[in-house]
Structure 1
Amino acid sequence: MLSLYKLEIFGTVVQVGSFSGAAQRLYMTQPAVSQHIQDLEARLGTPLFLRGRRGVTLTPAGKTLYEYTQRILQLVAEAESAVTNVQHLDSGQVTIGATPGVSVYLLPEWIGSFRTLYPQLNVSIQTATTTEIADAVLEHQLDVGFVEGELDTIASKRLGSAILRPVDLFVVVSGSHPWHERERVSVADLDEQPFITRQPGSRTRAWIDDLFSQKGVRPRIVGEFDNQEAIKRAVISNIGVSILPDYAIARETSAGVLYCLPIEDVTLERQMKLIWDTKSPFTAVARAFLSHLVMHFPGIEKVLST
């Protein structure tokens, strides 16, 4: 791996045009500067400078390395600035939008661990649909959004998005339902089955309706709710069955009050995504929050480096 310290010396030699000038600027001896450059050349297996009486000029390989060196040193400076800004913030807030499931079942844990590190910073949450969150991010009402629905064409062109994790969905039934001892079900099994679902207009409802339409299945809708917690309670009461994401049913399945069944003839999976406005840089607090989430979602690191 290339040494950042040696790259800094290399960049200084390029800027001043000579080894002696770089040595003076860096308060080093000229032989020490020369040795660091030789180490880089040995590491890369190619000369970086053409030495002459009037100084040095870059070789083609040297020009390429200098382009990357500038970018690397700029990123280092930005990282130092971002960390310093957050540590010295006496107060600040990040405003986050999230679809209902993420808002209820995942965000509280993320926020709790974040505020343990940064108790002086606040996190504001707005729960809404994917479309509403996308619009609010573009209107700068939200710093970032966490969604599971698909973005429409216009929003997807203006927003940055990164997949954080797949979300597996299961058919869920109560312990008193005849299916609770089964290992799996088919889509056809849901035909005419009492079914509890999200309200019309939600992306989740549209997604499930489309799935049933493609398979020619028509469950009997016996309940429509605007949140997953209400759906779970209805299923536990054996009013009907439903389809819910893995993160929403972990506690109930462990307790044995709900049973989750994969559908054998179709893959039930959605994508949890982070969305942001590509034309607006992250605030210091938003960047700190996203950096904290890298432990859960390593892909965020790439988002922060762009």
Structure 2
Amino acid sequence: MVSKLDLYKVFTQVGKSKSFSAAAKDLYMTQPAVSQSIMQLERELDTRLFTRTTKGVTLTNEGQLLFEYANSAINLIDVGEEKILEFKNLTAGELKIGVGDTISKYFLLPYLEAFHNHFPNIKFNIINGTTSELCAILKSGEVDIAFCNFPVDEPRLIQIPCIAIHDIFVCGDKFQHLLTAPVTFEELTNEPLILLEQKSISRKYVDNFLSANGFTISPEIELGSHDLLLEFAKINLGVACVTKEFAKEYLENGSLFEVPLANEIPPRSIGMCYLNSVSLSPATTKFIESINVQ
């Protein structure tokens, strides 16, 4: 069965060609099939659209009016199909990513750089936030994918761990008395501690682990930035709980020292999340495929 859209495609091509035979050639149809399509459309509209002559066909006044609208509509559909093809071929599009500053700096940047080098016409829209904030905007559809601290209690999200990370305590040179032997949590709580704010997933993970071991931490300083934890510990304002993988430069150059713990905090992970009920765009799918999952 010929659809209404197909009839209008035939109609616009005949209007451009002013010939049934020329339109049939352009549409890879037979001339009788083109004639039948035009007759069917005229019957449905109860209007004569073409005047037949020995030299071809011309649009009637009604046909000319319809042609202007139909041709514009067909052109818009063609443009839309071209845009879809661009998205599929990753020659156009936008990738909306939610990520926190720390994960962006220490994990995501190399992947963004590599993806941009391969697909320079894909635009990045980066939204910063805490893990809780990112999960909220992910569920609202504001971003396509989010990179978060795990674990995340969100059943609507597909969660893919990317790398394992380790929570450790670090100190500056004025706290080197903590480096001679493994430190118990009881000993650690007697030191001035610097931690992330309580609302952060990283802080909650450490708090929950210590609570399970019978300890509660009361830090002297709470901060909203991982980089500030490192800097505050560096100038000996206290002992900071940081992510080992993100403190590598400070540990290697001797600005900070890892405090040996008698009972190490179990590793956790950071990873990517996306809605399990929504189809991913080609750009998002390709970006996910580019991430090395350990």
What secondary structure is seen at the aligned counterpart in 1 of 2:263? coil
What secondary structure is seen at the aligned counterpart in 2 of 1:177? helix
Offset of 1:180 from its aligned partner? 6.2
Structure 1: how far apart are the matches of 2:202 and 2:90? 39
Structure 2: how far apart are the matches of 1:272 and 1:134? 13
Structure 2: how far apart are the matches of 1:123 and 1:184? 45
TM-score by length of 1: 0.62
What secondary structure is seen at the aligned counterpart in 1 of 2:151? coil
Distance 1:279 1:252, change over 3 A: same
1:119 is matched with which residue?
120
2:158–2:274 contact (8 Å) kept in structure 1: yes
The residue type equivalent to 2:263 in the other structure is D
2:60 is matched with which residue?
none
1:136 is matched with which residue?
137
What secondary structure is seen at the aligned counterpart in 1 of 2:109? helix
Q: How does 1:42-191 map to 2 (within 5 A)?
A: 88-152=89-153, 155-156=154-155, 158-179=156-177, 181-182=179-180, 184-191=182-189
Q: How does 1:1-306 map to 2 (within 5 A)?
A: 88-152=89-153, 155-156=154-155, 158-179=156-177, 181-182=179-180, 184-293=182-291, 296-297=292-293
Structure 1: how far apart are the matches of 2:109 and 2:282? 21
The C-alpha deviation readout for 1:80-137, integer Å capped at 9, x for no partner, is: xxxx856844432211112342123212222112212222222222222222222211
The residue type equivalent to 1:287 in the other structure is T
Structure 2: how far apart are the matches of 1:268 and 1:194? 23
The residue type equivalent to 1:297 in the other structure is V
Q: Identify the range of structure 1 (240-249 vs 97-106) with the bigger mean alpha-carbon deviation.
A: 97-106
Distance 1:267 1:205, change over 3 A: closer
The C-alpha deviation readout for 1:177-210, integer Å capped at 9, x for no partner, is: 2246446432222122100011132222222222
What secondary structure is seen at the aligned counterpart in 1 of 2:174? coil
Structure 2: how far apart are the matches of 1:85 and 1:180? 59
Q: Identify the range of structure 1 (187-196 vs 227-236) with the bigger mean alpha-carbon deviation.
A: 187-196
Unmatched 5+ stretches in structure 1:
1-83, 299-306
What secondary structure is seen at the aligned counterpart in 2 of 1:132? helix
The residue type equivalent to 1:102 in the other structure is I
The C-alpha deviation readout for 1:133-167, integer Å capped at 9, x for no partner, is: 22211211111111114323xx22x1111222221
Q: Could you tell me the percent identity over the aligned residues?
A: 18
Structure 2: how far apart are the matches of 1:175 and 1:111? 36
Which structure is larger by alpha-carbon Rg, 1 or 2? 2
Structure 2: how far apart are the matches of 1:159 and 1:143? 11
1:41 is matched with which residue?
none
The residue type equivalent to 1:132 in the other structure is E
2:162–2:271 contact (8 Å) kept in structure 1: yes
The residue type equivalent to 2:196 in the other structure is R
The C-alpha deviation readout for 1:236-294, integer Å capped at 9, x for no partner, is: 0100011111221011111110112342324331122221111111111111211221x
Structure 2: how far apart are the matches of 1:151 and 1:245? 18
Distance 1:142 1:183, change over 3 A: farther
The residue type equivalent to 2:293 in the other structure is F
TM-score by length of 2: 0.65
Root-mean-square deviation (Å): 2.3
Would you say how many aligned residue pairs link Structure 1 and Structure 2? 210
The residue type equivalent to 1:283 in the other structure is S
Unmatched 5+ stretches in structure 2:
1-84
1:192–1:218 contact (8 Å) kept in structure 2: no
2:59 is matched with which residue?
none
